[in-house]
Structure 1
Amino acid sequence: MSTNQVSRRDFLRVSGLAGTALCLGFYFPSSAKEAEIVNTSGVPKSEVELNAWIHIDTDGKVTIFNHRAEMGQGSFQSVPQIIAEELEVDLKEVNIILAQGNREKYGSQITGGSSTIRGSYKNLLKLSATARIMLITIAAKKWNVPITACYAESGHVLHKASGKKFHYGELVVDASKLEAPKEVVLKKISEYKLIRKPLHRQDTPLKTNGTAIFGLDKKLPGMLYATVERNPRLRGIVKSFDASAALKIPGVTKVFKVRMGVFNTFREGVAVVANSTWAAMQGKKALKVEWDDSGFEHINTTEIYRRQQEDLQTKEGLYLKKQGNPDDILRQEGKTIDVVYQTPYQSHSCMEPVNCVAHYQGDKVEIWGPIQAPEWVQDYISGQLGLPKEKVIVNMTFLGGGFGRKAFMDYPHEATMISKEIGAPVQVVWTREDDATQGPYRPGISYRCQGAIHNGEVTALKFRMSGQNNDHWRGGKTDQANRSTSEGFLKPYFDSIKNISFAEVQFETPVPTMWWRSVYASTNGFAYESFLDEVALAAGKDPLDLRRQYLQDERCQRLIDKMEEVSGWKKRKKNEGFGAAITECFSSTVGQIVKVSKDASGKIKIDQVWAVMDCGWYVNPDIIRAQVEGSIIMALGAATIHEITFKDGLVEQRNFYDYKMPRITDIPPIEVHIMENDADAGGVGEPGLPAFAPALTNAIFDLTGKRIRKLPFDLSAV
Structure 2
Amino acid sequence: MSTNNISRRNFLRATGITGAALCLGFSFSSNGKEPEVIGAAIADGVIELNAWIRIDTDGKVTLVDHRAEMGQGSYQSVPQILAEELEVNLNDVNIVFAPGNKEKYGNQITGGSSTIRGSYKNLLKLGATARNMLITAAAAKWGAPATECYAESGNVIHRPSGKKFHYGELVADASKLEPPKDVTLKQKSEYKLIRKPLHRQDTPLKTNGTAGFGLDKKLPGMMYAAVVRNPRLRGKVKSFDDTAALKVPGVKRVFKVRMGVFKTFREGVAVVADSTWAALQGKKALRVEWDDTGFEHLDSAEIFKRQQEKLHTEDGLILKKVGDPDAILQNAVNKLDVVYQTPYQSHSAMEPVNCVAHYQQDKLEIWGPIQAPEWVQEYISEQLGWPKEKVTVNMTFLGGGFGRKAFMDYPHEAAMISKEIAAPVQVIWTREDDATQGPYRPGITYRCQGVIKDGNISAAKFAMAGQNNDHWRSGKTNQANRSTSEGFLKPYFDTIKNISFAEVQFETPIPTMWWRSVYASTNGFAYESFLDELAHAAGKDPLDLRRQYLNDERCQRLIDKMEEVSGWKSRKKNEGYGCAITECFSSTVGQIVKVSRNTDGKIRIDKVWAVMDCGWYVNPDIIKAQVEGSIVMALGAATIHEITFKDGLVEQRNFYDYKMPRINDIPPTEVYIMENDADAGGVGEPGLPAFAPALTNAIFDLTGKRIRKLPFDIAAV
Q: TM-score band, normalised by the shorter chain? A: over 0.9
What is the SS of the residue equivalent to 1:437? Answer: helix
Matches within 5 A, 1:304-453: 304-333=303-332, 335-453=334-452
1:276-296 CA-to-partner distances (Å, cap 9, x unmatched) read 111111101101111000001
Residue equivalent to 1:497 = 496
Matches within 5 A, 1:465-544: 465-544=464-543
Residue equivalent to 2:239 = 240
Residue equivalent to 1:22 = 22
1:361-381 CA-to-partner distances (Å, cap 9, x unmatched) read 010110000000000000110
Matches within 5 A, 1:25-44: 25-29=25-29, 31=32, 33-40=34-41
What is the SS of the residue equivalent to 1:53? Answer: strand
Separation in 2 of the partners of 1:669 and 1:26?
A: 44
What is the SS of the residue equivalent to 2:189? Answer: helix
Which ranges of structure 1 fall in alignment gaps of 5 or more residues?
5-12
Residue equivalent to 2:570 = 571
1:512-545 CA-to-partner distances (Å, cap 9, x unmatched) read 0000000000000000000000000011100000
Separation in 2 of the partners of 1:131 and 1:334?
A: 68
Matches within 5 A, 1:29-178: 29=29, 31=32, 33-40=34-41, 45=45, 50-178=49-177
Residue equivalent to 2:9 = none
Separation in 1 of the partners of 2:344 and 2:86?
A: 46
Amino acid in the other structure paired with 1:133: N
Amino acid in the other structure paired with 1:664: I
- Verify the 8 A CA contact 2:585 2:686 in the aligned structure 1: yes
Amino acid in the other structure paired with 1:640: T
Separation in 2 of the partners of 1:595 and 1:570?
A: 13
Separation in 2 of the partners of 1:319 and 1:555?
A: 29
Separation in 1 of the partners of 2:646 and 2:438?
A: 15
What is the SS of the residue equivalent to 2:240? Answer: strand
Is 369-378 or 227-236 further displaced after alignment? 227-236
Separation in 2 of the partners of 1:701 and 1:20?
A: 67
Matches within 5 A, 1:283-294: 283-294=282-293
Matches within 5 A, 1:253-292: 253-292=252-291
Question: Is 1:182 equivalent to 2:177 in the alignment?
Answer: no
What is the SS of the residue equivalent to 1:632? Answer: helix
What is the SS of the residue equivalent to 1:485? Answer: coil
- Verify the 8 A CA contact 1:32 1:120 in the aligned structure 2: no
Amino acid in the other structure paired with 2:232: R
What is the SS of the residue equivalent to 1:235? Answer: coil
Separation in 2 of the partners of 1:259 and 1:181?
A: 51
- Verify the 8 A CA contact 2:22 2:39 in the aligned structure 1: no
Residue equivalent to 1:227 = 226
- Verify the 8 A CA contact 1:26 1:124 in the aligned structure 2: no
- Verify the 8 A CA contact 1:616 1:678 in the aligned structure 2: yes
Amino acid in the other structure paired with 2:426: Q
Question: Is 1:653 equivalent to 2:652 in the alignment?
Answer: yes
What is the SS of the residue equivalent to 1:211? Answer: coil
What is the SS of the residue equivalent to 1:55? Answer: strand
Offset at 1:60? 1.1
Separation in 2 of the partners of 1:380 and 1:503?
A: 32
1:373-406 CA-to-partner distances (Å, cap 9, x unmatched) read 0000001100111111011000000000000000
- Verify the 8 A CA contact 1:22 1:55 in the aligned structure 2: yes
Offset at 1:48? 5.3
Offset at 1:476? 3.8
Amino acid in the other structure paired with 2:242: A
Separation in 1 of the partners of 2:36 and 2:669?
A: 40
What is the SS of the residue equivalent to 2:511? Answer: coil
- Verify the 8 A CA contact 1:536 1:542 in the aligned structure 2: yes
Amino acid in the other structure paired with 1:85: E
Residue equivalent to 1:679 = 678
Separation in 1 of the partners of 2:242 and 2:256?
A: 11
Amino acid in the other structure paired with 2:62: T
**Cα gap change, 1:69 to 1:170, in 2 (>3 Å):** same
Is 589-598 or 174-183 further displaced after alignment? 174-183
- Verify the 8 A CA contact 2:40 2:49 in the aligned structure 1: no
- Verify the 8 A CA contact 1:24 1:53 in the aligned structure 2: yes
1:128-182 CA-to-partner distances (Å, cap 9, x unmatched) read 1011111111111111221111100001100111000011111111112222222
Q: Percent identity?
A: 81
Amino acid in the other structure paired with 1:321: K
1:574-622 CA-to-partner distances (Å, cap 9, x unmatched) read 0000000000010000000000000011000000000000000000000
Residue equivalent to 1:545 = 544
**Cα gap change, 1:179 to 1:405, in 2 (>3 Å):** same
- Verify the 8 A CA contact 1:20 1:48 in the aligned structure 2: no
Amino acid in the other structure paired with 1:73: Q
Separation in 2 of the partners of 1:333 and 1:202?
A: 59
- Verify the 8 A CA contact 2:448 2:463 in the aligned structure 1: yes
Separation in 1 of the partners of 2:564 and 2:533?
A: 24
Separation in 2 of the partners of 1:44 and 1:692?
A: 58
Separation in 2 of the partners of 1:175 and 1:25?
A: 14
1:409-451 CA-to-partner distances (Å, cap 9, x unmatched) read 0000000000000010000000000000000000000000011
Separation in 2 of the partners of 1:460 and 1:144?
A: 72
What is the SS of the residue equivalent to 1:478? Answer: coil
Which ranges of structure 2 fall in alignment gaps of 5 or more residues?
4-11
Aligned residues between the structures: 704
Is 215-224 or 137-146 further displaced after alignment? 137-146
Is 584-593 or 179-188 further displaced after alignment? 179-188
> TM-score normalized by structure 2?
0.97
Offset at 1:475? 2.1
Separation in 2 of the partners of 1:425 and 1:289?
A: 25
Amino acid in the other structure paired with 2:286: L
- Verify the 8 A CA contact 2:40 2:47 in the aligned structure 1: no
What is the SS of the residue equivalent to 2:51? Answer: coil
